[in-house]
Structure 1
């Protein structure tokens, strides 16, 4: 059927080709030497361009409007070039590329919601802000991050409180050693951090950095017995103090990039925060020092070498002063990620503490160095800690562990009344399992104790400046409260260790102590994305009690301390750290060992009731 149409078409093609040959044969040819290019290429190229291109317009000096970037970008120090092209306008500042206004849901950009293309303001710390390090303040590599944090604490607690019956008592006729336990604490700390740095904000380490963080504190304590707020009983039962200082001040410089994967070597000098392990068992503080740190193997390995020349602390706020403490701390650690198991990080560390002999009274006139027990003679404590720790997960189970071995000397321990060779250990282990919104935890801690106070071997473990996040952390009664015992503390505030030390921040480490055994059962629940619940039960025992028996002159003290029960809530209404409400309630139900330490003249059961504590902490951050 299609043949009749195909044949005529073929004939037409052939006819066309013959016609083309006939026409080409009629064109006269020129010798090969006189052949020229087509006429349009005969003319010089620059002449053609001059004839065909329009004359360039002069650059425009008039600013050109363009879309603004998200958040609050402030003004740029990078000058833009303006041309005559209406379709393209160069923006030299690569950080401030504009985004068109886009109300995706047609709701007018409501406050408090995560909304696309939000236009921020200078006072908005949540969306992008030039004062929060999101946009450079100068050029394209220099950023400033200003962070203001106000932490307000209200805390009521019950603690064994001495009545000072040999001097004066708050109530006439009081003869017992321990009186009314109630006290109330208010503490407010405001810090303003100015962090100036150069480099990209996310993809590689900073080239240099300067940080200044002034801090301002006001605190108030109300007790029910004399000799608590001040050693002078005439000072009454209330105390108001304030303190202002430069808490952090340091400069940081990147020495070199050591690999194409942005591994680096940097140095930082000045008063700086540092935590030496995952949970803060040995050292966690902000203090004056020089730190050499960096990464290797594509950030799989991290390392630190830190030299601290410790500053004296203010007694009531815990903030730094500008006075030298005459204490040297050197720390070296090395982290390896994905060690043996993906998601598990291992750490090896060495700590060195040299705390020189000194005599020091705190701002409330209490003697804190040396400890006001035994002979209280100035002495040097020199210790090396060998540590192995790990944190992460193995398959579906989370694991965190640590082991430390302390070796050294104490030139004249006040309790033992002689020189001591230190040989003490500490071990901790936490296992947890996550199931949807809940985490189930079990953990244990062992702090070796000293079983023979009269020999020259100190086997009770103590830290340098610990702040552990373990077994309930800040919600635990045992860890949160400093429980006093005749001039020293059985345990320090924000510490789990039983060390009979005058003060964690101003006293010296004491390795002649009873030690501790702890078993914890915990349950954490993310009730909503904004609300988290933390619940813990700790069972507590002294590791050994010989030191306690000699210290309080009692023939027999049991090892059972008691049960610490705590529950707490963390509420973040904005789903960020700009507003955090933290509250908790805890109790210590004493067992025989604790009752025997704090009993009255009526026997082991007199006036040794369960101790209660409750706190509310409000953190506001810009």
Structure 2
């Protein structure tokens, strides 16, 4: 190349190549210099039109802003700009409108607008210079290319809130621009929170002074955007996230259900209302009046009409006040009170059933109001950084001593210390009950002292040997003092009206090991208890007794899709010699086992009377021969029990479940029954218990639950020996009593707020 006189030799290849390289270097230098000057990549185009009105009117400017990029941003000057929607045909219908009021006019409301691709914005301002600055080349509304790729649109969209994924663009303002927007703060949309929040009890402490920090005082009532998940305008009956609650909705988040604090950040209230109604038709062996006339004339069989109707209705109101962080950590303190009102009705077809006085007739209606629960709980100490704690609770409270409720399940007056260890892997309880007397017909608590003390200690270990299997070791101590009591129906409850009639004390110590969980695919539930102690005067044995008895139970089940196949076994030892000084029949304290059919089983649901005591108690398994589970005393001179169970549970739909069970039941030893009834050769076979039950949850929750069940007990020789009839009575039939199958049908509904 020849640079003299600006002449280039085009025939020289070397000159041509050098010239091209020079041009390329100059071009790159210009590009780099341009980036250094602007400090950012090239900007997207921004177009607007400005028109000034004619006449002597106040000078205004009307501008159309178009944002063709995918960027979205937020800009809200508190004292300068207010963005609203107008529908003015003279301008542009249904277009966002940006209004800059005069300096003397201020708008303190927080506002938000989103500029989307192709949107138009009309600006009216009395300050033309400010309008020009807003839409100048270097104005803050002029956006730069993002350093990231635009995310593809989501279908269906998760949130319609802008900036949720990418965040606002970083905008650097010049000095004059900062003066223009002085006092402008970054704000967030004021959207309604989820659930029924109630009034906020949190006072603001921090004021927003910059856009770098936006104080959120009430973190419990953070807003959520509306989301029509299926684009169907949210018809009822379809599951939708982010639902706004109502005060009468107990399922979604609710101020009245402990989901939002009522005062400050940590004080919550939980109000619960419950209505439970049980309607039951049943057949029970009922003895006719021994001395007085019967309901029906010429009714001479010893056992009369077994048909009965029973109704029980509970109304409960519970108020709970607690301090803590809801579900995030153990509560600091808690107060709870529950009132209960019960109305019950019994209709029988024989006299001396509702009351020993036959003049009381065959029906009984009763009601009772009780303060069922009342306690105060406080956390005494934190045991580890993993929310392990130890707390104390004093007052009337509910407690179940093991997984199935084999020994103790009751609401009563006591003091409890409980907590967790090793990041909640271990749990422990120590509780002492000074029990109160129960109302006879409703089983609700009274304020009368029961003269019975119960101490329970247990320790749980999760993932014991096998992951998913929880083991429990427990100790129970029950001391029932001597007492004399007639119940509300004028029947003798303590001591038992059999054998030696004398008030006596019972001291029993239970050592137990139980577990529940799964081992691989096999569900396992097991329990073993050994009880020892003494009875100062057993009414059937007629003398003091040393107690030594045991119980074992195991349930194995396997889940296959929507069905569960179960098999169970239960054993309670019986007393083979009631005339010695060792009581080997197993009895409980206050049991309510959910085992082998539970409330759907005839044997467990019904209370079979046998003269002055009950062969088996309502909601119990063991044939303990005591007057009442709640008002009578434990009796360890009893026949014991063997129960073999198979069952299947079917989740027919998410709302409907079916439970089926077949139990074969036997006495362990009938020597006690022979002594008690003055009979010989009573067979051990009780019979076959068949049951089917349904649980229906129309709202897919426990707020509304309906249950129905039908069960029958097909008697075998042992039950016929106790309750059989001889029709007609002849010497040939003395060893062949007749007893028809016994049925029970119940319908139960629970409505919980």
Alignment partner of 1:170 is 2:295: yes
Would you say the 8 A contact 1:399–1:430 is kept in 2? Answer: yes
* Cα shift at 1:169: 1.7
Residue 368 (structure 2) pairs with residue 213 (structure 1):
no
- 2:719 maps to which residue? 594
1:573 aligns with 2:698: yes
User: Do structure 1's residue 68 and structure 2's residue 192 form an aligned pair?
Assistant: yes
What is the rounded CA distance, in whole Å, between the counterparts of 2:212 and 2:228 in structure 1?
25
User: Is the CA contact (8 Å cut-off) linking 1:520 and 1:539 kept in structure 2?
Assistant: yes
Alignment correspondent of 1:299: 424
Q: Within 5 A, what are the aligned runs for 1:270-285? A: 270-285=395-410
Note the C-alpha offset of 1:200.
1.4
- Aligned pairs for 1:21-420 (under 5 A) are 54=179, 66-80=190-204, 90-420=215-545
Paired position in structure 1 for 2:562:
437
8 A Cα contact 2:203 2:264, kept in partner: no
- Structure 1 contact 165–175 (Cα < 8 Å) conserved: no
SS where residue 720 of structure 2 aligns?
A: helix
1:506 aligns with 2:631: yes
CA apart distance, 1:118: 1.6
CA distance in structure 1 between the partners assigned to 2:229 and 2:213 by the alignment: 26
Higher relative CO (CA 8 A, sep ≥ 6), structure 1 or 2? 1
Cα 1:450/1:59, change in 2 over 3 Å: farther
Q: Report the Cα offset of residue 113 of structure 1.
A: 3.1
Equivalent residue for 1:544, pick from 669, 690, 693: 669
The 3-state SS of whatever aligns with 2:653 is coil
Distance change (3 Å), C-alpha of 1:54 and 1:494? same
The answer to whether the 8 A contact 2:694-2:707 is kept is yes
8 Å CA contact retained: 2:548, 2:584: yes
Q: Distance in 2 between matches of 1:497 and 1:507?
A: 14
Alignment of 1:512-531 (within 5 A): 512-531=637-656
Q: Equivalents in 2 of 1:496, 1:245: separation in Å?
A: 28
**SS of residue paired to 1:501:** coil
Unpaired segments of 5 or more residues in structure 2? 1-12, 30-173
- Structure 1 residue 55, shift from structure 2 partner: 10
Deviation at 1:66, TM superposition (A): 1.5
Q: 1:236 to 1:91 in 2, by over 3 A?
A: same
Could you report, residue by residue, the CA deviation over 1:441-497 in whole angstroms, capped at 9, with x for unpaired residues? 011011000000110000000000000000000000000000110011000000011
What residue is the counterpart of 1:41 in the other structure?
Answer: none
Determine if contact 1:112/1:574 at 8 Å carries over to the other structure.
no
Shift of 1:168: 3.2
Shift, 1:147, TM fit: 1.2
Q: For residue 155 of structure 1, report the CA deviation from its aligned partner.
A: 0.2
How far is the alpha carbon of 1:208 from its aligned partner?
0.7
| Structure 1 partner of 2:88 | none
Q: Which of residues 561, 582, 585 is equivalent to 1:457?
A: 582
* Cα displacement (A) at 1:256: 1.0
Q: 1:615 aligns with which of 726, 737, 746?
A: 746
Counterpart contact for 1:57–1:84, Cα < 8 Å: no
Q: 1:13 to 1:145 in 2, by over 3 A?
A: same
**Mapped partners of 1:103, 1:518: distance in 2:** 54
Q: Answer whether contact 1:64 1:82 (CA < 8 A) is retained.
A: no
* TM-score, normalised via structure 2 length: 0.75
| CA distance in structure 2 between the aligned counterparts of 1:405 and 1:10, rounded to whole angstroms | 101
- Check whether the contact 1:398–1:433 (CA below 8 A) recurs between aligned residues: yes
Deviation readout 1:543-600 (Å, 9 max, x if unpaired) = 0001000111001101000000000000001100111010000000000010001123
Contact 1:308 1:329 in 2 (8 A): yes
Which 10-residue stretch deviates more, 595-604 or 80-89?
80-89
Query: Greater share of strand residues, 1 or 2?
Result: 1
Corresponding residue for residue 86 of structure 2? none
Instruction: Write the distance in 1 (CA, Å) between the matches of 2:240 and 2:487.
Output: 52
Give yes or no for contact 1:59–1:82 (8 Å, CA) kept in 2: no
1:216 aligns to what SS in structure 2?
Answer: strand
* Equivalences, count: 588
Name the TM-score, length of structure 1 as normaliser: 0.90
Q: CA deviation at 1:79?
A: 3.0
Per the alignment, do residues 165 and 11 of structure 1 end up closer, same or farther by CA in structure 2, a change over 3 Å counting? Answer: closer
Change (3 A) 1:10 1:122: same
The CA distance in 2 between the partners of 1:170 and 1:516, in whole Å, is: 35
Q: 1:170 deviation in Å? A: 1.5
Q: CA 1:597–1:86 in structure 2 vs 1: closer, same or farther (change >3 Å)?
A: same
Q: How many Å apart are 1:59 and its aligned residue?
A: 11
Give, in angstroms, the shift of residue 176 of structure 1. Answer: 2.5
Aligned partner of 2:553 in structure 1 is 428
Superimposed CA distance per residue, residues 339-387 of structure 1 (whole angstroms, 9 cap, x where no aligned partner): 0000001110000000000001110010011111112210000000000
Match of 2:599 among 474, 495, 504: 474
* Separation in 2, partners of 1:542, 1:144: 50
Q: Give the aligned CA root-mean-square deviation in angstroms.
A: 2.5
In the aligned structure 1, how far is the partner of 2:176 from the partner of 2:20? Answer: 49
1:52 deviates by 9.6
Distance 1:137 1:6, change over 3 A: farther
Asked if 1 retains the 8 angstrom alpha-carbon contact of 2:686 and 2:717, the reply is yes
Which sits farther off after the overlay, 125-134 or 485-494? 125-134
Over residues 151-182 of structure 1, what are the superposed CA-to-partner deviations in whole Å (9 max), with x where a residue is unaligned?
Answer: 10000000000102323321223332210000
Q: Distance in 1 between matches of 2:18 and 2:641?
A: 104
For residues 208 and 386 of structure 2, what CA distance do their matches in structure 1 show?
39
